[in-house]
Structure 1
Amino acid sequence: MKSLVGGMFGKYKVVRLLGTGGMGKVYEAYDTDKGRTVALKLLNEQYADDEKFRARFLRESRAAAILQEPHVIPIHDWGEIGNVLYIDMRLVRGQTLHDMLKRGALDPQRATDIVGQIAAALDAAHAEGLIHRDVKPQNIIVTPDDFAYLVDFGIAETRGDTHLTMAGYQVGSFDYMAPERFGGSEATPAVDVYALACVLHEALTGHKPFAGHSAQVIAAHLSSPPPRPSALNARVPASFDDVVARGMAKHPDDRYGSAGALGRAAKHALAAGASAAGAPTMEAPRYVAGPVSYPPFNAQYAPPPTVPPTQSRGNYVLPVLIAAAALLLVGVVVLTIAVVATRNKEPDNPSPTLADTPPSVLTYQSEPSSTTQPVYPQSTAISAPPDAEQRLRQIADEDRPFVAATLAEYWVPQLSSKRPGVVDQGVVWDNTMTLQEHLDLRQRYPDVRLLWSGDWSTFSAPDFWVTVVGLAFPDSAGPLTWCRAQALDRDHCIAKLISTTH
């Protein structure tokens, strides 16, 4: 395909070439109808007549367009102009993680934060039945304020879709490919978890997990133990070794159950490393048996002998048996006394059992836990009406004049985005839960407002209830600063542009 820079492609004025990929080229272009600058991806001409490539290209559009997740670049439009397939998506200014790592490893805090954001994007994709299958640093864009996006769903696969792997073309990159993929097994979300663990290792060390030519890399994925990032970079706490080891376990069932679980484990490893750094004593050596392999491989560390070599088993078996017998005798005596005492005493006010506890005494946490499923506090001032959708629409209609007059074309802190059927940390949401969460957030934070995503062009799907804080900022740095000031991580608070023109 010849360069289109300076010319027109349908309604798009092509400004400059942004990059070239396996399927086509990405341009910066200006949509003359909508009056906005976009990223325009075009399929190479030699593939335009290939039905398999056409199907894959269109599937990328559909896959990304249905995802309502801040870390997935929104798709504006897609179609065909002059026998050339295209995708119109939001233009994001930033650099790829691949380019960032050319300058060396990231600080563990920064690496953990970026991986956590990509994990959120993968969880959203997996909840919709989509598997990315090509998670790698080249497909992660990071903005100047460290907001990360997962891009290129060109080989994303819906469960049940026909595999589009063709002769001479392997879907995915060998450096980040899970072992089961080399055997032709059906891809599951576990392959994305494996790839994300590989990305975490590279972000922490500046090196891919396994080096060498393709055959060596494939063999290492199949049989070599996962590498230890702390062995390559002294700034990386040893607690990250276990995270990478589990994320890169050879068998899918031995990995983290979700990408988000891997991201949270990385955060815990960072905190554990900080605690260990400030501790006055050294941590005792750990002997790791390693995750179950696929196929099996030897552990990285040999466990210590269970019996000291200078002492035979016969020297201590008899004392252990005597001690155990003595403990058993004491336990029997104590139990007998307790039973007799209970029978001789009739309590005036028997203590209630769990079965006696009425449901009305159950309480809810006021703050959601970051390590468990979200808790939905019951509002003491306002309760959810029977018709939750009607009440949500009423609130959004009441808030819309303020949003249009004060927040439009500005960045705001976004606290929640839900629609019926969305799965968040294992919970399937409905309108009643969404309303209850919004009412609670409205009481907890000042000037909270409710939006219907269909009213604004900066949302990739038109049917979400979105809770935002009514504070307007000229760029994304302001909302992110507010989120941090409230001690909210990016799982609970992000920056969002409210607009009808972007």
Structure 2
Amino acid sequence: MEDLSGKQLGQYKLDRRLGRGGMASVYKAYQPGTDRHVAIKILPRDDMGDPNFLNRFRQEARIIANLEHPHILPVYDYGEANGYTFLVMRLVEGGTLADLLRGRPLPLERIGKTISQLAEALDYAHSRGVVHRDIKPGNILVDANGRCLLSDFGIAKMAVSSPQYTVTGSFVGTPQYASPEQALGKDLDGRSDIYSLGVILYEMATGKVPYEADTPMGLVIKHVNEPLPAPSSVNPSLPPALESVIARSLAKDRRDRFQTAGEMASALSAAIVQGLQPTGQQTVFEPISTYIERLPTPIPLAHAPSEPRLPTFEGTQPRRRLPAWIWAVGGTGALLFCTALILVASLGSRLFPLALMDKTPSATLLQPVSLVEPTSTPTPTRMSPTPIPPAGSDTIFLEYILDASGSMLELLQGQTKLSIAQAVLSERVSALPPDVHVGLRVYGHRVPYQQEEQSCKDIELVVPIQVGGANPILDWLASMQAQGMTPMSEAIRLAAEDFTFTPANTNSIILISDGLETCGDDPSDVARYLQELGIDFTIHVIGLGVDDETREQLKRLADTGKGVYHDANSEEDLQKALADLNTLVIQTALEKPVLPTEAPTPTPLPEPNFDAASEGQLQASSTYPGYSPEMARDGDLATSWFSAGSKVDGSTSVFRWTGIQDDWIASITVISNREHIVPDYRTGFGFGLVTIQVLDASGTVVYEETAELPGTPDPDVTFKPGVTGREVVLTFTGHESPDCGGFAELQIGVVR
């Protein structure tokens, strides 16, 4: 979208752009009629051509504009002008709850105050038929006085009404905070917001969210299926009464939760009173910088009160079956599922995904800044980026799941079943074509069955699915043992996260087992639910010396998994069964129709949808008085961070950004002083070279590149790391001035 700074939009005079993203820009603007400054969110012209989106926008903006509550961020106005659709909001000085958390628990008094204010706002909105759908710390503004304001009512639902973001399925929200019914695409009422508020309560009490996973799909499945990890296991100082409030807030069944947010807040208040110990100390919270709010949406309420059940935590809560999901459509269900989750991860920023318009938290200045020494002299270099999965010369993905429970030590024709499985699997894996992606998952091999609870969790992906996976499988099989329970169902569920799901791939599991499931649901039920999720793989099963009851269970699993079942009562039987199934997997893949392409193309790097420079910590080796590192992420090209130059730093000045999480870093842009408010500072205060380093969470350099900065002012430079990292270090050399040097803006484009 073009920069509209200085232009007129209806009655509003646009001052300057505060931030922008792929789907909207936010401007500080002046409203002459009221003599006040406001924030205006401007949508791109693309949406203006869709009548359905415009009707939804007008309807929902009208409803949200009528929400008047001290803890709901007000929308003043909305309209259309000059081919743009826009919302007018209050310009708020402050930050977000996410800025306060930063991975640490908050004091009990602060937790109680925050939940109380948010509960008031939610009960007010719910009583008017409005469900938020995307409660998360980033949507909770905290002003300079510590007051919370809830923003973004309904923005997730409005997002999927856009023609650019229409995806089959009805999930809207953020996976880390989504309720089970939201993840399942069900109709929502206010209790979905209460669950999301419960996740925030858990995070405020422990410093972390209850569920973590490598993929959005993994997160969603955990919210639906996984028992709640006890908050006290993360923060042992939590009062038991507070833990009970968290557990009830996060009940899987909404009938078991608090039925109103006010009920939750009252229970929390009582729990905090019980848990507080007099300390005579006062916690002071510093205000955070300017934050611009977002947009909202209405949904009808349907409360269904019931008697709550006692809260349970991980280790005591029965495993919940995965119900049907409204995602899959034909053979592309899994692809749509992944696409939808990518959308979900950024729904909170649907209208302005770059965080420059969201928040600019205070910088933490620590001196001196340690530098990871560049791997070479300052000449243009580039480290290999983290590899992206290939788009597909070979499309066969095969995972063996091997039962290593204690019953595999039983004899079959004078040998243990385990030794037969080891020998045959080793031989058949060696015979696979070299370009097949193959992996191995095992259960029951580490914890003896006498330790039932732990043995039911004894599942390991010993060799991830990969080209060349046969050799590490052979190395591992030689030393394996058998001694535990049979968590077959959970092993299959976990296998759903091991595959790459694209329409071109053929994904298969070959399970070798000799016993019944002893830890959870019937394996065929789990396979059926995974299919309803749109997860597309075939499950073939070999029963090794099994009885009639076990055979029936394993056959049901193969039938449900659209695979083939084989009985094997000898080493020869297993040889033939495994050879037949390997051949079947390969033939199925080769016979699968492939869409013609003109020429192979490399897998494109994901496009960034969030500017992570606006969050996290900033550090600098030195700072010229009055020109702090914070100015390098304030969204204003007229301001700059300046170091104290070579007189203080020596030959190198260092600027470091540390993020709040691991992110796929797609781009890094450094903008020079070319538009500084003081014309004399635009030239003569730059550098000769800049070396960019990206570090992962362990501090390892995963990307490095050096760029020359010829002339003055310095040119803007953009790097394309394409790696996962948490820190970015900028090392400047060749100071143009001995006592001052810097740049205007750092932008770190990530994919969320």
1:127 is the counterpart of 2:127: yes
Q: Which amino acid aligns with 1:181?
A: Q
Q: Separation in 2 of the partners of 1:122 and 1:3?
A: 36
Aligned to 1:68: 68
Q: Separation in 2 of the partners of 1:26 and 1:194?
A: 30
Kept in 1: contact 2:172–2:182 (CA 8 A): no
Aligned to 1:95: 95
My pick for the range that moved more, 242-251 or 48-57, is 48-57
Q: 1:240 aligns with which of 228, 231, 242?
A: 242
Aligned to 1:115: 115
Kept in 2: contact 1:130–1:157 (CA 8 A): no
**Shift in Å at residue 157 of structure 1?**
6.8
Q: Which amino acid aligns with 2:217?
A: A
Do the aligned partners of residues 216 and 253 (structure 1) sit closer, same or farther apart at CA in structure 2, a change above 3 Å counting? same
My pick for the range that moved more, 256-265 or 267-276, is 267-276
Kept in 2: contact 1:74–1:89 (CA 8 A): yes
Q: Separation in 2 of the partners of 1:235 and 1:26?
A: 42
Deviations 1:163-186 (A, max 9, x none): 998316842111111111222211
Question: Which blocks of at least 5 consecutive residues in structure 2 are unaligned?
Answer: 281-309, 323-452, 454-752
Kept in 2: contact 1:178–1:194 (CA 8 A): yes
SS in structure 2 at match of 1:111: helix
Q: Separation in 1 of the partners of 2:188 and 2:318?
A: 18
Do the aligned partners of residues 227 and 113 (structure 1) sit closer, same or farther apart at CA in structure 2, a change above 3 Å counting? farther
1:256 is the counterpart of 2:281: no
Do the aligned partners of residues 50 and 81 (structure 1) sit closer, same or farther apart at CA in structure 2, a change above 3 Å counting? same
Do the aligned partners of residues 33 and 293 (structure 1) sit closer, same or farther apart at CA in structure 2, a change above 3 Å counting? farther
Aligned to 2:31: 31
* Percent identity of equivalent pairs: 36
Q: Separation in 2 of the partners of 1:65 and 1:115?
A: 23
Matched ranges for 1:96-495 at <5 A:
96-102=96-102, 104-155=104-155, 166-167=166-167, 170-212=171-213, 213-274=215-276, 289=312, 295=320
Kept in 2: contact 1:114–1:146 (CA 8 A): no
SS in structure 1 at match of 2:229: coil
Deviations 1:381-426 (A, max 9, x none): xxxxxxxxxxxxxxxxxxxxxxxxxxxxxxxxxxxxxxxxxxxxxx
Q: Separation in 1 of the partners of 2:134 and 2:252?
A: 18
Do the aligned partners of residues 221 and 38 (structure 1) sit closer, same or farther apart at CA in structure 2, a change above 3 Å counting? same
Q: Separation in 2 of the partners of 1:59 and 1:221?
A: 32
Q: Separation in 1 of the partners of 2:228 and 2:96?
A: 25
**Shift in Å at residue 277 of structure 1?**
10
Q: Which amino acid aligns with 1:295?
A: R
Kept in 2: contact 1:59–1:154 (CA 8 A): no
Kept in 1: contact 2:79–2:85 (CA 8 A): yes
Kept in 2: contact 1:249–1:294 (CA 8 A): no
SS in structure 1 at match of 2:89: strand
Kept in 2: contact 1:23–1:44 (CA 8 A): yes
Instruction: Calculate the TM-score normalised by the size of structure 2.
Output: 0.35
Kept in 2: contact 1:14–1:29 (CA 8 A): yes
Q: Which amino acid aligns with 1:242?
A: S
Q: Separation in 2 of the partners of 1:21 and 1:256?
A: 37
Q: Which amino acid aligns with 1:138?
A: G
Do the aligned partners of residues 44 and 294 (structure 1) sit closer, same or farther apart at CA in structure 2, a change above 3 Å counting? farther
Kept in 1: contact 2:227–2:319 (CA 8 A): no
**Shift in Å at residue 124 of structure 1?**
0.7
Do the aligned partners of residues 51 and 268 (structure 1) sit closer, same or farther apart at CA in structure 2, a change above 3 Å counting? farther
Do the aligned partners of residues 16 and 236 (structure 1) sit closer, same or farther apart at CA in structure 2, a change above 3 Å counting? farther
Do the aligned partners of residues 238 and 296 (structure 1) sit closer, same or farther apart at CA in structure 2, a change above 3 Å counting? farther
**Shift in Å at residue 189 of structure 1?**
0.9
My pick for the range that moved more, 105-114 or 172-181, is 105-114
Deviations 1:434-489 (A, max 9, x none): xxxxxxxxxxxxxxxxxxxxxxxxxxxxxxxxxxxxxxxxxxxxxxxxxxxxxxxx
**Shift in Å at residue 26 of structure 1?**
2.4
Kept in 2: contact 1:126–1:189 (CA 8 A): yes
**Shift in Å at residue 103 of structure 1?**
6.1
1:46 is the counterpart of 2:46: yes
Deviations 1:54-74 (A, max 9, x none): 344334422322222111122
Kept in 2: contact 1:108–1:236 (CA 8 A): no
Deviations 1:223-253 (A, max 9, x none): 1122333322244333221111111100111
Kept in 1: contact 2:27–2:40 (CA 8 A): yes
Q: Separation in 1 of the partners of 2:219 and 2:73?
A: 31
SS in structure 2 at match of 1:120: helix
Q: Separation in 2 of the partners of 1:144 and 1:178?
A: 31
| Richer in strand (by share) | 2
Do the aligned partners of residues 154 and 238 (structure 1) sit closer, same or farther apart at CA in structure 2, a change above 3 Å counting? same
Q: Separation in 1 of the partners of 2:11 and 2:101?
A: 37
**Shift in Å at residue 51 of structure 1?**
3.3
Q: Separation in 1 of the partners of 2:122 and 2:139?
A: 12
Do the aligned partners of residues 268 and 11 (structure 1) sit closer, same or farther apart at CA in structure 2, a change above 3 Å counting? same
Q: Which amino acid aligns with 2:48?
A: A
SS in structure 1 at match of 2:92: coil
Kept in 2: contact 1:63–1:156 (CA 8 A): no
Q: Which amino acid aligns with 1:128?
A: R
Q: Separation in 2 of the partners of 1:121 and 1:163?
A: 27
Do the aligned partners of residues 127 and 171 (structure 1) sit closer, same or farther apart at CA in structure 2, a change above 3 Å counting? same
Deviations 1:94-128 (A, max 9, x none): 10112222263322221221122111111111000
Aligned to 1:81: 81
Kept in 2: contact 1:43–1:84 (CA 8 A): yes
Aligned to 2:691: none
SS in structure 2 at match of 1:42: strand
SS in structure 2 at match of 1:130: coil
Q: Separation in 2 of the partners of 1:222 and 1:150?
A: 26
**Shift in Å at residue 48 of structure 1?**
2.5
SS in structure 2 at match of 1:48: helix
SS in structure 1 at match of 2:124: helix
**Shift in Å at residue 294 of structure 1?**
8.7
Q: How many residues get paired?
A: 288
Q: Separation in 2 of the partners of 1:240 and 1:254?
A: 17
**Shift in Å at residue 141 of structure 1?**
0.3
Question: Which blocks of at least 5 consecutive residues in structure 1 are unaligned?
Answer: 279-286, 303-502
SS in structure 1 at match of 2:173: coil
Kept in 1: contact 2:45–2:85 (CA 8 A): no
Kept in 2: contact 1:227–1:245 (CA 8 A): no
| Richer in helix (by share) | 1
**Shift in Å at residue 293 of structure 1?**
7.4
